[in-house]
Structure 1
Amino acid sequence: MKDQKDGAQDKNGLLRNVHIFDSTLRDGAQGEGISFSVQDKLHIVRALDELGVAFIEAGNPGSNPKDLEFFEEVKKIELSNSHLVAFGSTRRKDIDASSDQNLRSLLAAGTEYVCIFGKTWDFHVTEILRSTLVENLAMIRDTVAFLVGEGRTVFYDAEHYFDAFRSNPGYAMETLRAAAEGGASALVLCDTNGGTLPDDIQLMTEKVVAEFGIPVGIHCHNDTGMAVASSILAVKGGAVQVQGTMLGFGERTGNANLSTIIANLELKMHIPCIPAGRVADLTPVARRIAEIANINLEGGMPFVGHNAFAHKAGMHIDAVTKNSTAYEHVPPDAVGNERTFLMSEVAGRSMIIEKIRKFDPNIKKDTPLAAQIVARVKELEHEGYQFEGAEGSFELLVRKNMGKYKPFFDLHYYKIIGEQPIDDVTCTAFAQVKIGVEGEMAITAGEGDGPVHALDCALRKGLERFYPGVRQIRLTDFKVRVLDSRSATAAKVRVLIESTDGEEVWTTVGVSSDLIEASWLALVDSFEYKLITDVEKRFRAYL
């Protein structure tokens, strides 16, 4: 990797001032609750390649059989924008690099690029590695030289660099010099403990950039909540490679969030880091990776979160409808996101009008239909509904009042049977549902871990016969709120259900004094929202 500070082209002819090095498959996999199958990893590689990140750290081929299998399978994928990187450590102490099995595994992975981490902190060398400072330097130099001699391009990750520099700056620099002497193509400074503040990151990065004539990178963890800021300041200090994970998940509090860093580099600092025009793919890629990782994308995540461009206060909404720059620092579509107006008692009529205009651009504030919908919203809110977090149900409400809604099925009945199992089994409830679709009846049954799960299974089974698209729906969150605790078990409850089809996420709401009925109302809205949006997509594609 050459110095990209002047906007040089990389091997694919792409103009980049900063190279993005994604470690979702390795560092990200160390996050709590994250477990990637081989197929998951392959899907993420494709998504990152489409976005155009320069390097994808694919894992440690010598660490486990799954990574070995992945490296074999990924060879079958032709990448357009990204380079795969195998990851591993320096040779073990007191042996030849050529005899180290982990290094042999790195070569067997067959990647052109290899990332090696080594000990930089003298404390780690003597107390953790139980080696000498001289031997550690030899381990770094020998490892890099061996891999370079085998035709690999080597990035050297200086583990704990910032702690090391504070402890023993002279030795920290010597470890980098050993890597450079071995032929490393980039020196990556790692804030492994995540405890260094951004201004110190910048100052220490500047020192390394001034000392060495090869590219410098940055790898930050988020233990102070400043990994993104530290990465940005490292770039200001001269770093030309930024490592992190696409959504920031990783060990402990996570890694630098690349979705935030990419957007800031491209849109705020005007520093190319992915191919031209690809920043608009950022939100779809982020959501796809969240789906593969089986996590809920945090709503408040900058740029790509569902609430990143959400407005609630009436004054804000009114201003944004007149000129979006009033309360938006970048246009939502610049990062592939969209503006959202949140329903609430403080939103005002302007917000509701804007939402209605999605279906009829000619609606005005004084249109009778607008007044009708506003009145209906207020009536339902009085009953306990809350549309702020239930955009799916609100869209269905608007369609019903505008005459642009036809139910996809009719409910004839549902039955729930619950039991206390004797054995340790997952199914504790059974549901039977009878529905009609254009005069044709379907009676289906489902079992599940609780009555709502059983209802979901039964309804899904019945609808799949008529609407195969419902197979894509997955419920991702379920919330219950008691609206009047003074009424005890007779109180009304509000149920919010979040669903996804792998591309879009929507939330629906139901309210009743019967928890099952409230859940059913939210569940039906969820399925109907998916079905009606599928119809509209097909119609737009036909046009």
Structure 2
Amino acid sequence: MNPILLYDTTLRDGSQREDISFSVEDKLSIVNRLAAFGMHYIECGWPGSNPKDAEFFARANRLNVPVRLAAFGRTRNAHKLCDDDANLQALVVAGTPAVTLVGKAWDYHVRHVLSTTSEENLAMIADSVAWMKAQGREVIFDAEHFYDGFLANSEYALATLRAAAEAGADWLVLCETNGGKLPWEMEAITREVATRQPGARIGVHCHNDTGCAVANSLAAVRSGATMVQGTINGYGERVGNADLVSILPNLQLKMGHPVLPDDRLLELTTLSRFVAEVANLKHDDHQPYTGHSAFAHKGGIHVAAILKSPDTYQHIDPERVGNVMRSVTSELSGRGNLQLQARRLGLNLDNEAAQHVLGQIKRLEHEGFTFEAAEASVELMFHRLRADYRRPFELLDYFVITERRHGRGLLAEATVKVKVGETTKFTAAEGNGPVNALASALYSALVEDYPVLRSVRLADYKVRILSGSAGTAANTRVLIDFQSGTDVWTTVGANANIIEASWRALSDSMEYAIVRLRDGN
């Protein structure tokens, strides 16, 4: 199998996603991480387009990373000399060893976007490639809209490739810019290009507008492409680019192409989540290969099978890409789900105990609880089954009042009476709302006996109305995330009274924190 080179364009195409804006420091951190991972090419952006990119290129070239950095730009302007073209000059100043030049491959765009002739466009491509080669750069020619152009006028689309190749381009990259093609079209057209351009090194660049960018990239590889351009997590304009996080393991594990050493694949999940964090986006739980749910099993029959043999319901061992197998707990679970989850926590759950917890979960889910995301609440159920387990505190009473008075504004106050060991604690606290006041009062009652709580902070609080037709009398579900350092856990509560639902989630979170942090679990 031919080795395939990966070309990452997260910092340019990925940054064109609507809700992404990378700082210079963000870009530098991503370059370092991609280089350590073993990425072959990193496209860093369009130099000269803005001051941020100018600063970034100046600093990136001092990183001395083991990867080919590329600057991106277009071919020269129509009827202009390359020596007078500010865009080409900026590419040289950027100082990267590789330069990617984008040129039109669809004569429709030549006429209506560039407003020039087909012959002048060919000259623009040839002149720009030759000029950049004379500067000592590796030149990657991105044939924009190539597949649409090929279907409209195949001879002209191929002529743009010949113009670039004869001028010295090192790579001819076929761009599926509008994202509208299907895999069999990609495979047939790429194969014809490989036949008509013997000896050329061919790449592919796909967008995901039909949801086929990964499949289209793999189809192009089947037909002779040996470079795949894409982004981490498929970030990109509109609905995104081809996702290298899916493409890499598919090429290596499914198609047998050597891409990176196997030990690098072990870092794929952390890389995927790292880039999401830097982009300030929640990592997609359902991301293939690297998502939190990619190897999560919910159906009881599935879990019963994987407890006997994991490959019965998994296409690969998740550890090969740095992920883990999980079971999801819900009313659809069987005993196996709980036993698998307990095993991951280092706990032994026999059939009787698992059945007891399962019955409890099914009853609570009928009341409106959900445990798929609230794994800490499930873990507490396991601990409470132990003969030696003693709850760190017991609720006796709580009282919450919210009032609005003229001249004083809004006031929320809560009192909590809990039993800790043989001692009864009675505390009160104010807050900016009833749940905040309740949390503060509970914290005050417990922190003296359990100082580990000093490191705990609220990370998120979510409320969902379960039966909207009931109006303000509807059942309410509350999910609360707490965090201590890098450790995050979620608990759940449900009730028609939002304060009681919040109390259930809140008290479980505090109990979980005490058990986990105090006992070092």
- TM-score range, shorter-chain basis? 0.7 to 0.9
Instruction: Verify the 8 A CA contact 1:155 1:187 in the aligned structure 2.
Output: yes
Q: 1:89 to 1:267 in 2, by over 3 A?
A: same
Partner of 1:195: 180
On the 8 A contact 1:291/1:502 being kept in 2, the answer is no
- Relative distance call for 1:302 and 1:92 in structure 2 (3 A) is same
Q: Which residue of 1 aligns with 2:150?
A: 165
Matched, 1:149 2:134: yes
Paired residue for 2:99? 114
TM-score (structure 2 length as normaliser): 0.86
The one-letter amino acid paired with 1:203 is: A
- Please tell me whether the aligned partners of residues 304 and 336 of structure 2 are also in contact (alpha carbons under 8 angstroms): yes
Instruction: Give the whole-Å Cα distance in 1 for the aligned partners of 2:80 and 2:482.
Output: 54
Q: 338, 342, 353: which is aligned to 2:339?
A: 353
Give the aligned partner of residue 240 of structure 1. 226
Aligned to 1:296: 282
Instruction: Tell whether the 8 Å contact from 1:446 to 1:458 is kept in structure 2 after alignment.
Output: no
**Which runs of 5 or more residues in structure 2 are unaligned?**
none
Structure 2 equivalent of residue 397 of structure 1: 381
Which of 83, 97, 112 aligns to 1:127? It is: 112
1:495 aligns with 2:478: yes
Whether the aligned pair in 2 keeps the contact of 1:22 and 1:245 (CA below 8 Å) is yes
State whether residues 10 and 230 of structure 2, in contact with CA within 8 Å, keep that contact through their aligned partners in structure 1.
Answer: yes
Say if 2:107 is the partner of 1:104. no
1:50-69 superposed matches below 5 A: 50-69=36-55
Q: What is residue 514 of structure 1 aligned with on the other side?
A: 497
Correspondent of 1:378 among 353, 356, 362: 362
Q: Which moved more, 1:337-346 or 1:373-382?
A: 373-382
Q: Distance in 1 between matches of 2:223 and 2:156?
A: 21
* 452 and 70 in structure 1: CA distance in 2 versus 1, 3 angstrom threshold: farther
Determine helix, strand or coil for the equivalent of 2:208: coil
Q: CA deviation at 1:168?
A: 1.1
Structure 1 SS opposite 2:491: strand
Query: What SS does the aligned partner of 1:205 have?
Result: helix
Contact 1:483 1:494 in 2 (8 A): no
Alignment match, 2:22: 36
Shift of 1:485: 4.3
For residues 55-94 of structure 1, the aligned pairs below 5 Å read: 55-80=41-66, 82-94=67-79
Question: Which one of 246, 252, 276 corresponds to residue 260 of structure 1?
Answer: 246
Matched residue, 1:331? 317
Q: Among all aligned residue pairs of Structure 1 and Structure 2, give the percentage whose two residues are the same amino acid.
A: 44
How many pairs does the alignment contain?
512
Superposed CA offset, 1:409-429 (max 9, x none) = 999979786889xxxxxx999
Q: Does 1:177 align with 2:165?
A: no
In 1, Cα distance between equivalents of 2:335 and 2:484: 31
1:454 & 1:19 partners in 2: Cα distance?
Answer: 56
Distance 1:175 1:467, change over 3 A: farther
Q: State the alpha-carbon separation in 2 of the partners of residues 385 and 133 from structure 1.
A: 64
Distance in structure 1 (CA, Å) of the matches to 2:11 and 2:399: 44
Which residue of the partner structure matches residue 363 of structure 1? Answer: 349
1:256 to partner: Cα distance:
0.9
For residue 512 of structure 1, what is the amino acid of its counterpart?
N
Letter of the aligned partner of 2:339 in structure 1?
Answer: I
Task: Summarize deviations over 1:247-304 as a string: whole Å, max 9, x none.
Answer: 1121112111111111111111121222331112111111121122222222222111
Aligned-residue offset at 1:104: 1.5
Larger of the two Rg values belongs to structure = 2
CA RMSD in angstroms comes to 3.8
Who is 1:388 aligned against?
A: 372
| Contact 1:72-1:109 within 8 A present in 2 as well | yes
| Shift in Å, 1:389 | 3.0
Q: Distance in 1 between matches of 2:443 and 2:15?
A: 32
C-alpha separation in 2, matches of 1:189 and 1:496: 47
Partners of 2:468 and 2:158 in 1: CA distance: 64
Determine the C-alpha separation between the residues in 1 that align with 2:27 and 2:410.
Answer: 34
Matched-pair contact (CA < 8 Å) for 1:474–1:501: no
Where in structure 2 are the equivalents of 1:370-449 lying within 5 Å?
A: 370-402=354-386
Query: Alpha-carbon deviation of 1:71?
Result: 1.6
Q: Please, which runs of 5 or more residues in structure 1 have no aligned partner?
A: 7-16, 421-426
* Equivalent position amino acid for 2:232 in 1: M
